[in-house]
Structure 1
Amino acid sequence: MSLFFIIFFTVYTSLNYYIFIRGWQTIGNYPLVKIIYLILFVLIAYGYVFAKIFYKVLPPLMYDIWLGVGAIWFAFFVYFILSLLLLDIVRFFDSKFLFLPEIFRSGNYDIKRYTALVVIAIVSIIVFLGNLNKRNIEIRTLEITLPKGQSKLSELNVVMASDIHLSPIDGELLLKRIIDKMNSLNPDIVLLAGDIVDDKAEILEAREIGKSFHKLKSKFGVYSINGNHEFINGVEASVLYAEHLGINTIRDNYIFIDSSFYVIGREDRAMPQFTGKQRKSLKEIISDVPKDYPLILLDHTPFNLEEAEKNNINLQLSGHTHHGQIWPANLITKMIYEVSWGYKKKGNTHFYVSSGAGTWGPPVRTGSSSEIVNLKIKFK
């Protein structure tokens, strides 16, 4: 894990320097402006990291602002990099073929500043529209049929969400919209596929973020699993936080619902990195589960889908991918995951991977949409 962070921060710092130096080149001979630019750049580019490190000593308002500014920078960061790369490609080909007016090759400060202003304006519009898109939480409806077995139910109305990522960035305002949409679907059961939190439980509780969960209405209850962000933010505290909100966390275990179907919950595959312990295999978890009842599995990260298929799981629900969240990351998640988003059936097992109801980091979506999933299940 430490090696991962070393590599990440090395790459992140290098790319930030690339953005920084290009901005520095547009300032000209104004020493005071350069000093202000340097200080602001560091505070913004590393704001998210600094806020997380110094959260215990920062006043709550300063923490929330610094966290939010640092998070939104990640979106600007991505599109500044893409914009600068595009400009450098154009400059490279212009050096070979000389298709731009001479003034663009003159090193004129005005041209540099106008170009910088255009890039900032375009990126700002993209980020703003991405924030608007993020606020629009869509409801996806999926109708599937599962073997009835000995279940006494003929149908089940499941409302599922993943990756809510509660933090002071969006907080209770986001959660209220999610809960209102869930309640409008009159769920028999609510299943959450991990990453409810994106901050430490003590921070969320101090700001009363999460209280809207108490308004969630469901016939058979609300069940969740741990995603990687529960482990990142302290898994035991995250589970206790969820329990106080009326959420039952299933941890490498299962629950028999209404004597009709089983909900199986796995710990996230990130568990060993944060606890030094291995999660149980799916085969081990369900070793004593009767196979003549419908089996619904919650597994946050959708890797090794064949494991669920081999163990006769009827339905697996996952999240984690965000379907890239910020373009062009969705092109990468499509290459990494067999299902980056949406529905797939393998053998007799149905899979749905949600793009998530919330966002990690920047409250911006340009590569996917936020969603709540309504699964209308018929048992036959």
Structure 2
Amino acid sequence: MVAVFLAPVYILANIFTAYWLIRWMKAVHPLFHHPAVLGVILALYAFFALSLLTGFLVKRDPIHRILKVISNCWLGMYLYFLGFTAILVLLRWILAHTALTETWLYSPMGLKTVGLGAILFVTGLCIYGMVHAGHIFTTRYEVSSKKEGNLKIALVADLHLGYSIGGRQMEKMVEKINAEKPDLVVIAGDIFDNEYDAIYEPERTADLLAGLKSRYGTYACYGNHDLDEKILAGFTFETKEERIADRRFGEFLDRAKIHLLEDEVVCIDDAFYLAGRKDPDRIRKTQETRDTPSELLAGLNLSLPIFVIDHQPSELSELAEAGADLDLSGHTHDGQLFPGNILTGLMWENACGRKKIGEMDSIVTSGVGLWGPPMRIGTKAEVVMIHYGK
């Protein structure tokens, strides 16, 4: 539904940027005044701008996959082109309403230079973002506890297996985690990116994840994207019908040796509890219910460490009051693209990193994978290593 509401905004935004692109090109060289040349440029622009829609409508592979990859790349680059264009146009408007209209910046040569500089800068920035997104960093936290136990936990989230993330990124992630020799591996939701069919070579990818090595195994909860549904420009379509998860998601997890916890608590080796929560957005679509923190953790032996996997870092105070010692989350991507990290910081009590909530530690990872644009700018893909103990 959000995609439908944003469609007119997206169309107007593209008219705005196309107008200034043509105006800039005409100022650069007389060739761009020719109708045939302008027609080719506008056709190419329309192809990229509409790839979000054509990738959604055309289902035949490999065309569908190619269009989805193109549209994801376009979306990331376009957001920055739009932002820079809006800033430059606003600057020109300010100059036009001051005594500075005769400055070099407002001259035809200024228009050419600033326009070229913006294009080169944004292009370079996006190329950097694509390369940077493929590098997985390791973030470490030392969490002290009054309870018995000494554990090394590997936390990852937001794999978003699909058009942008596949076997190559998973191979890097598995190698990084295995090198740390953790006691436990936790995946805090959004393992999939809505479409199971979007996963390239799903059997091989599952086998890679099955190669994760730890003392107690790999556990996960589902996130809001772990549901097969139609998606346009990263947004889903609301429906009153109950949605049922693709059975292949579960088969994938079984093959990958990932233990799914859906409002379940397991006591591992009589040493600690691990609870996995259902995702609030996902259950709204599947018309399920989920336990409150107090219901989920009721009756547990509070002398043992209690760890909770919850995709979205919400209800942190309630989890702390219910007795959780450590809450492990993802979902936010730390904004993924600057200035998204500033916005997520305003939206969440703990948008990324570690924060003490009462007696509980909340740790939120920026994730390994990507939502939409295959790039990270101002954020990083990460594996979080947590040393929990006295």
Distance in 2 (alpha carbons) for counterparts of 1:17 and 1:146: 57
Is 2:117 the partner of 1:118?
Answer: yes
TM-score scaled by length of structure 1: 0.89
Unaligned runs of 5+ in 1: none
Is 2:67 the partner of 1:87?
Answer: no
**Which AA in structure 2 matches 1:204?**
I
Point out the more displaced range, 238-247 or 227-236. Answer: 227-236
Give the match's secondary structure for 1:377. strand
Residue 337 of structure 2 contacts residue 377 of structure 2 at CA under 8 Å; is this kept in 1? yes
Residue 172 of structure 1 contacts residue 211 of structure 1 at CA under 8 Å; is this kept in 2? no
Matched with 1:230 is 226
Matched with 2:45 is 41
Instruction: Give the counterpart of 1:181 among 168, 176, 181.
Output: 176
**Matched residues, percent identical?**
26
Residue 48 of structure 1 contacts residue 68 of structure 1 at CA under 8 Å; is this kept in 2? no
Quote the offset at 1:228 in angstroms: 1.0
Give the match's secondary structure for 1:141. strand
Residue 268 of structure 1 contacts residue 301 of structure 1 at CA under 8 Å; is this kept in 2? yes
Distance in 1 (alpha carbons) for counterparts of 2:80 and 2:200: 34
Is 2:257 the partner of 1:246?
Answer: yes
**Which AA in structure 1 matches 2:36?**
L
Quote the offset at 1:202 in angstroms: 3.0
Matched with 2:295 is 284
Give the match's secondary structure for 1:140. strand
Change (3 A) 1:51 1:255: farther
Matched with 1:217 is 213
Matched with 1:303 is 314
**Which AA in structure 2 matches 1:120?**
I
Matched with 1:201 is 196
Give the match's secondary structure for 1:317. strand
Distance in 1 (alpha carbons) for counterparts of 2:310 and 2:284: 17
Runs of 4+ more than 6 Å apart: none
Quote the offset at 1:333 in angstroms: 0.6
Quote the offset at 1:259 in angstroms: 1.8
Distance in 2 (alpha carbons) for counterparts of 1:210 and 1:259: 29
Residue 65 of structure 2 contacts residue 198 of structure 2 at CA under 8 Å; is this kept in 1? no
Point out the more displaced range, 116-125 or 277-286. Answer: 277-286
Instruction: Give the counterpart of 1:9 among 4, 7, 20.
Output: 7
Change (3 A) 1:92 1:26: closer
Distance in 2 (alpha carbons) for counterparts of 1:257 and 1:36: 63
Give the match's secondary structure for 2:307. strand
What are the within-5 Å matches in structure 2 for residues 1-380 of structure 1? 2=1, 4-28=2-26, 29-55=33-59, 58-60=60-62, 62-99=63-100, 101=102, 115-148=114-147, 154-204=149-199, 206=201, 208-231=204-227, 233=229, 235-237=245-247, 238-378=249-389, 380=390
**CA-to-aligned-CA distance 1:85-122 (integer Å, 9 cap, x gap):** 2211210121122435467657x5x8755544332211
Change (3 A) 1:77 1:349: same
Quote the offset at 1:252 in angstroms: 1.4
Unaligned runs of 5+ in 2: 27-32, 230-243
Change (3 A) 1:48 1:198: farther
TM-score scaled by length of structure 2: 0.87
**CA-to-aligned-CA distance 1:126-149 (integer Å, 9 cap, x gap):** 111222322221111111123436
